[in-house]
Amino acid sequence: MKHSVVALTVNGAERQVLVAPGTTLLDALRESQGLTGTRRGCDQGACGACTVLVDGKTMMSCLLPVETIDGATIDTIEGLTPMEGLHPIQEAFLEGFATQCGFCTSGMIMATAGLLARNPDPSREDAVRAISGNICRCTGYEAIIDAVLDAAARMRAAKRDKAA
């Protein structure tokens, strides 16, 4: 069984990752990169806890064999967090009491990041769709949907401030 070296840009840094055949991006991030903020909830692509951005698009990292994405750009929750303070999406989730056990949170936030990159002014229905692949067993989703919309508003306001 031959290991391979795969080049990835992870949160802006170029990395060479040594993987056994079939190693998922999730395992590579958690185990060889130490990026444990991406959570493992099912290994079946059905819970969304491992959602990351691959070349800017949300994907389930448990469904990606690393060898098939050589050269890809990966963004995780760790990369979203700024040096100082929090990202507006993180602020919205924190202040909106949109976390309980916290296990789905990274995936929810990355799904939100993926949505807002495509659609800075989502409707409530857009927000609901964006997280429809992410399971939360604690909150009943309401606070999370509110946080997605609040995050969008915060990011639009920040953009306006910057432009002004």
Site for another protein in 100-159 (CB under 8 A): 100-106, 109, 111, 114-115, 128-145
Within 22-61, which residues bind another protein (CB under 8 A)?
22, 24, 30-31, 35-49, 51, 54, 57-60
Element (H, E) at 13: strand 13-19
Query: Between residues 133 and 156, which has the closer beta carbon with respect to another protein?
Result: 133
SS3 18: strand
Applying CB under 8 A, which of residues 9, 65, 153, 156 lies at the interface with another protein? 65
Residue 73 CB neighbour total at 10 angstroms: 15
Q: Which stretch binds another protein (CB under 8 A): 10-18, 76-84, 155-163?
A: 76-84
Q: Which stretch binds another protein (CB under 8 A): 7-15, 87-95, 156-164?
A: 87-95
Calculated CA dihedral for residues 36, 41, 54, 8, nearest 10 degrees = 40
Query: Between residues 94 and 157, which has the closer beta carbon with respect to another protein?
Result: 94
Residue type, 122: P
Note whether 90 binds another protein by CB under 8 A.
yes
Query: Between residues 74 and 93, which has the closer beta carbon with respect to another protein?
Result: 93
Beta pairing, strands 51-54 & 73-75: antiparallel
Query: Between residues 86 and 153, which has the closer beta carbon with respect to another protein?
Result: 86
Query: Between residues 22 and 157, which has the closer beta carbon with respect to another protein?
Result: 22
Applying CB under 8 A, which of residues 70, 123, 157, 159 lies at the interface with another protein? 70
Q: 54 φ, ψ to 5°?
A: -115, 115
Q: How far apart are alpha carbons 101 and 137 in whole angstroms?
A: 9
SS3 65: strand
